[in-house]
Structure 1
């Protein structure tokens, strides 16, 4: 049997908790993925998965094997990458998780030139505004806003972005323009549930940071959804600048309290600390750092 193929199939199935999804990730048939895993189990003399009609879960031995198998595969991929790098040609797949709004616009725009320069690299981009467990779900890289909470991961900063308050001219004409941040208590504020403290907005007032309690009729975990609803005139939004930027540029939204902004949101490329980065992943991270002009 091909041990590498068996290990690849095992890791893919364990990441997806499904033979079908794992096979799809490897671009092979479900029967072939199942065959590879059975051959690996036979070779090892151990059952790696508990299989039922509804679920596929790791056995205790399977979890222990996964912990040791993953770094070995990464070293194998790195060895391939080193050969490819010396041939001046990067190749292979990079599986990335990124937030929906930023990922579908700014990140895609940044990745485009990288793929043009390296046509043999395949980008597998998954967009979600929910927290993604990078190792458990089999991602090579995650693009995330905010401080790193998991000490087992490594973060490389890509950029810092303003958090802005904005509203449409229609909304301001109907409800009046808030002259001070504390006026927001009487307005319909659009609540970003992905924020650490969504109902308190921070402002620098007379050199003192004050937090204003806000409320409103629309809550969402997507900054782009918040900005879009503000552009439709539903209320006042507070969101990362990238989410509001298209609407600001076309005049659908205008900024409020610019001189009182206090919060910046940092964007990071995140990857597991115990993983040897392949040449292609290192190259992509370096490209993103240069593209987003981090000094």
Structure 2
């Protein structure tokens, strides 16, 4: 039984807090995962996990061992990556997390040609509208919008994201078109809950940033949900352009205050500073950067 297999299994179980989920992550059976961890504990002469019927948590010794395991496995991956680069063939897993709406469409479109070029790379995409802890969850890369909250992460900017205010023509016909951002206070505004300040919409007027307090009967943590609600004539929404682009092009939504839009939000790919980037991860980062830069005008709006 290879010690590296035992170590990789231990790291996966620790990241998932579960033998079943950890085994699934690395593609083995739960029984084999339990066997690998037991063999590792036997070899080390120490208990790495506290096991109950409901949870699997690290012991203090297990936490200390995990902190030393991660850089060792990263270095091994890096060495394998050097060989792969010389052979011009990338292989191995990449765990990638992103917001649900963006990940299920735009990111899938970006990743597809990469996998077609590198069929031996296995990408696991974990979609969530909440920021997953990258190190603890064993994630290689994360896609993040806007100002980065965790300053310890290494970030590579992919492109800028245009935020637009939109409404359906029939909503404006019924309630009138606001002539100035301050008039939004009298309208039913559809709030994006995942924004830093959902009730504060920022605008740029002649180089001066102002904010307007808005409210409404609907809020969601998905920008696509806000876009669809706006297209249904239920209120005025503020969304990334990529979510409303099809509706704008077909006339179901129209842009408001295009000359007063706030500065665009950046899109980043981030990873832990301690992570040794393998050839496959570096290649994916470069691919994403080129992809989103080449599609920026079309995706984020003119």
- TM over 0.5, yes or no? yes
Q: Deviations over 1:170-212 (max 9, x none)?
A: 1111111111111101100011111111111111234432211
1:19 corresponds in structure 2 to 19
C-alpha distance in 2 between matches for 1:250 and 1:112:
27
Deviation at 1:10, TM superposition (A): 0.2
Q: Residues 53-98 of structure 1, C-alpha deviation per residue, up to 9 Å, x if partnerless?
A: 1100000000010011011111111111111111110011111001
Taking structure 1 as the reference length, the TM-score comes to 0.97
Counterpart CA distance in 1 for 2:64 and 2:233 is: 54
User: Where does residue 136 of structure 1 map in the other structure?
Assistant: 136
1:92 counterpart residue number: 92
1:105-133 deviation digits (Å, cap 9, x = unpaired): 21111111111111111111111111111
Cα deviation, 1:16-70, whole Å, max 9, x if unaligned, reads 0000000011111000000000000000000000000110000000001001101
For 1:272 and 1:116, the matched residues in 2 are separated by 27
- Mapping of 1:63-212 within 5 angstroms? 63-212=63-212
> 2: CA distance between counterparts of 1:293 and 1:105?
17
**Aligned counterpart, 1:49:** 49
* Cα deviation 1:213-272 (Å, max 9, x = unaligned): 100000111111111111111110011112222222232211000001123111000001
Further displaced range: 241-250 or 178-187: 241-250
1:271 and 2:286 are equivalent in the alignment: no
> Given the two structures, how large is their TM-score scaled by the length of structure 2?
0.95
Matches within 5 A, 1:4-43: 4-43=4-43
What residue ranges of structure 2 are gaps of 5+ in the alignment?
297-302
Deviation of 1:289 after TM superposition, in Å, equals 0.8
Q: Deviations over 1:132-171 (max 9, x none)?
A: 1111111110011012222321010000011100011111
Change (3 A) 1:279 1:206: closer
Q: Which deviates more, 276-285 or 260-269?
A: 260-269
Distance 1:64 1:188 in 2: 52
For 2:2, the equivalent position in structure 1 comes to: 2
Corresponding residue number in structure 1 for 2:59: 59
> Which residue of 1 is the match for residue 220 of structure 2?
220
Secondary structure in 1 aligned to 2:162?
A: strand
- Structure 1 runs (4+) greater than 3 angstroms displaced: none
2:204, 2:263 within 8 Å by CA — same for their partners in 1? no
The farther-off stretch of 199-208 and 66-75 is: 199-208
> How far apart, CA to CA, are the structure 2 residues paired with 1:203 and 1:271?
31
Runs of 5+ in structure 1 lacking a partner?
Answer: none
